[in-house]
Amino acid sequence: VREPNTEEMRRGGVRRLGAIAGPVAPYLFLAPMVLMTSVFLIYPAIETVRLSFMKVSLTGETTFIGLANYLQMPSDPNFLTACINTTLWVGGVLILQVGGGLLIAVAVNASPAAEVFKRILYLPATLSGTVVAIIWYFIFDPSVGLINLALHAAGLGFLAKSWLSTPPLNTYAMIVASTWQGLGVIMVMFLVGLQNIPRDVIEAAQVDGAHGFHMFRRITLPMLRPMTLVVVALALIGSVKVFDIVEVMTAGGPYRSSETLGVTVYREAFELFHQATGAADAVALTIVVLVISMFYMWTMFRRIPETVN
């Protein structure tokens, strides 16, 4: 048996090193991404679940107390108010933004000035929720706000209210502000859906004498169904976890009357220092969001064969 010469030994060594580095090296490409998301997203999510089963002292020490944080929810009036307000938000967003967005998309689609209207109605979506909240805070101002001044000018002064300090009007007022911001986005999504309806389907229906409302009900609405499901799911998720507009316009007040679940988490954890209660509220909110997300993904995956055909 011949001894390997130095050249062969060197090559073998390189190959052996390569055999070790080879399988490991590809994982180095994943390392930064996995490290970052593990520390700043995945660990906090798991830790929130853990904290929801704990009691957290003001100094930050945790003691296991089982389901106690969850069991006290039904008897916590603030949590119940938040649930009711969140439901109002969901209903209001579905009616005003999804329903309104659909009607306006159909109207804009038929208009010769569609591009102008589309851009104007979408414009508020480029503002942050914080700025939208500031603008509407002044519009709803009881003494110098635009709404009450307009009501007085129209001789309807008796309708003028302290919009943001009277429950449940404050929640409705904030839903209006949110509609100003969100309607354009939903309208554009419906416009995409409308433009994907094949021309020949519409023309065939017109030949058969379909017009106006009949056309909308029998042709447009069924053909928009895939987009409608996506829009409804996104609107549901967005409205369930609403935070910015409420936090800036009323901070959930007065007396926690306009809190939504998303705001309750913040208030409990960072203003009342009930971190464990906040964590349990966050988990409850997440369960609702995940259920809706599953419905969303289910419709998305069901859509794929439809769009392929």
Partner 1 sequence: VHAPGQARIGAVVTTLVIGALSLLWLIPLAMLGINAMKTTPEYFRDSSPLVLPANPGVVVRNLADAWANAGIGADLIASLVYGTTGAALGIACAALGAYGIARLNIRGRFFWFALVFSGSLFPIQMYLIPLFRLYLSTGLYDTQLGMILFYAAASIPFGLFVFRTFFATIPRDLQDAARLDAGDWSIFWRIFLPLAKAPMAVVFLFQFTWIWNDLAFGLVLSASDGVRPVTAGLAGMQSLYSTTGPPTLLAGAIIGTLPTLVLFLFLSRYMLTGLVLTTGTQAARD
265-304 binders of partner 1 (CB under 8 A): 265-266, 269-270, 275, 278-279, 281-283, 285-286, 289-290, 293, 300
Gap between the Cα atoms of 17 and 8, Å rounded: 14
Q: Which of residues 217-256 bind partner 1 (CB under 8 A)?
A: 230, 240-241, 243-244, 247-248, 251
Q: Which of residues 71-100 bind partner 1 (CB under 8 A)?
A: none
Amino acid identity at 160: A
State the minimum distance, in angstroms, from the CB of residue 2 to partner 1. 31
Single out the residue of 1, 110, 207, 308 in contact with partner 1 (rule: CB under 8 A). 110
Gap between the Cα atoms of 197 and 58, Å rounded: 58
Backbone angles phi, psi at 54, to 5 degrees: -115, 170
Q: Which residue number, 83 or 133, has a Cβ lying nearer to partner 1?
A: 133
Q: Which residue number, 149 or 205, has a Cβ lying nearer to partner 1?
A: 149
Which among 66-74, 76-84, 159-167, 206-214 is the span making contact with partner 1, rule CB under 8 A? 206-214
Is residue 123 a contact point for partner 1 (CB under 8 A)?
yes
H helices then E strands: how many in the chain? Answer: 15, 2
Single out the residue of 20, 33, 58, 154 in contact with partner 1 (rule: CB under 8 A). 33
Cα 253 vs. chain centroid, distance in angstroms? Answer: 22
Is residue 111 a contact point for partner 1 (CB under 8 A)?
yes
Q: If 0-12 CB within 10 Å is exposed, 13-18 middle and 19+ buried, where does residue 98 land?
A: buried
Q: Which residue number, 9 or 80, has a Cβ lying nearer to partner 1?
A: 80
Comparing CA positions, the residue from 102, 161, 173, 167 lying closest to residue 135 is 173
Is residue 45 a contact point for partner 1 (CB under 8 A)?
yes
Gap between the Cα atoms of 25 and 23, Å rounded: 6
Q: Which of residues 131-150 bind partner 1 (CB under 8 A)?
A: 131, 133-139, 144-146, 149
DSSP 3-state of 63: strand
